[in-house]
Structure 1
Amino acid sequence: MDERATAQPEPGLTLHTPGGRPYRFDPGALCLELLPTGGPGAYARHEVLHGPADLIRWAAASRLPDGLDLTVTEAEVAAARALRDALWSLTADRAHGRASDLAVLEVVNAAAAGPPLIARIAPDGTRAWAPGATGTRLVSTVARDAVDLFTGPYAHRIRECAAHDCLLLFVDTSRPGRRRWCAMENCGNRHKVRAHRGRAREPGP
């Protein structure tokens, strides 16, 4: 059997540079995959969660296993946006060593208190989702993932991309713990190009 045919796709999201070039961004956790959909304040101009279909589309593109049959209402989309905005604040504060806002923590904890999505074993032995998957259960699952992340072993590795003009947030789950960029094919490569040009401009001996 061809192992490439059965390999699981790499986790992460396909984002686009201002010029329209696609690149792969893996923030390292389900809850952080929600952040690029928009956010509070200035991030609102990037909003993509306008209706139920948008939240369903995000779930299908996320690191959640395939096969999720979601039913989503407008109110649940609003709840997802509220959680996302809270996660933006919580993640940025952690990345910059700031204390967490209690009101933000309450939003995350309240969302996590609801019933999550339920996985089960299908008759053929594969993983499947139990019927009744809703936007509320999806929001709870994302919030619980945030609780696990911010109280877990990688909580001290939540970072902002090192590029001066990139605000993407991620958790570094690599073994060496030296990740600096949102993606090497984006900000990492831009840094390498600038460094190379800088060396080329240096005067010789």
Structure 2
Amino acid sequence: MDSSATPGLVLRSHSGVVFRFDPGALCLELLTTGGPGEFRRYEVLHEPADLAAWAARSRLTPTPALEITPEEVTDARLLRDALFRIAIARTRGEPPAPEDLDTVNEAAARPPLAPAVGPDGERRWAGPADGARLIATVARDAVELLTGPFAERIRTCASDNCSLIYVDTSRPGRRRWCSMEHCGNRQKVRALRARRSTEHRPDVSRESE
């Protein structure tokens, strides 16, 4: 799983709040672009430029100069939707659908982006960089996640109105929120208001004595 110095995507909530969300894996970053069923309304992958823009925001650094076709955008959406369903199944302790696993495995079997070391010691990309190789790279990252030590730590944000999916890579394994800047902070505010409300509530039992 690739990582950068500052992993995570900058997202904007429905209320306009901007926050950083680190799902912990490249393949899970793709899930922020839309999804199957009810998540179709969040679709942002409509044309090649959209997929290239996602790659530029992702932890796949440095961003390769990608040549993407409309057909590859369709393939990216198919992979994303399969990954979405697999991840949800994991969070529920259910087996993933065989056809979704086939979609991931078929994409992972294709040639991925090829990393290389540049003269300056920095990572670069060697050979062709197209949408098919980008999709294969994401699919292989998914295989690593789903077969690795954190496969059982794929979770959905604990907020009742947030569906962001992440893998908890923290040592204690107690991450509950998509982001402490967003849902975590909102929960802190709610808890504080609840405590203050309790503290200022009159003791009815004593007043009735």
Question: What TM-score range do you get, normalising by the shorter chain?
Answer: over 0.9
Match of 1:94 in 2: 90
Q: 1: distance between equivalents of 2:88 and 2:82?
A: 10
Q: 2: distance between equivalents of 1:45 and 1:91?
A: 19
Q: 1: distance between equivalents of 2:66 and 2:73?
A: 12
Q: 2: distance between equivalents of 1:201 and 1:75?
A: 56
Matched residue type, 1:111: A
Relative to structure 1, the CA distance from residue 107 to residue 67 in structure 2 (aligned partners, 3 Å threshold; closer, same or farther) is closer
Residue 173 in 1 paired to residue 178 in 2?
no
Match of 1:103 in 2: 99
Match of 1:60 in 2: 56
Root mean square deviation of aligned Cα: 1.1
Larger mean CA deviation between 195-204 and 88-97 belongs to: 195-204
Percent of residue pairs identical: 57
Match of 1:115 in 2: 111
Match of 1:4 in 2: none
Q: 2: distance between equivalents of 1:189 and 1:139?
A: 34
Scaled by the length of structure 1, the TM-score of the pair is 0.93
Structure ID, larger Rg: 2
Structure 2's unaligned 5+ residue stretches are: 204-209
Match of 1:146 in 2: 142
Match of 1:27 in 2: 23
Structure 1's unaligned 5+ residue stretches are: 1-7
Q: 1: distance between equivalents of 2:37 and 2:31?
A: 13
Matched residue type, 1:66: P
The runs of at least 4 consecutive aligned structure 1 residues that moved more than 4 Å come to none
Question: Paired residues, what number?
Answer: 198
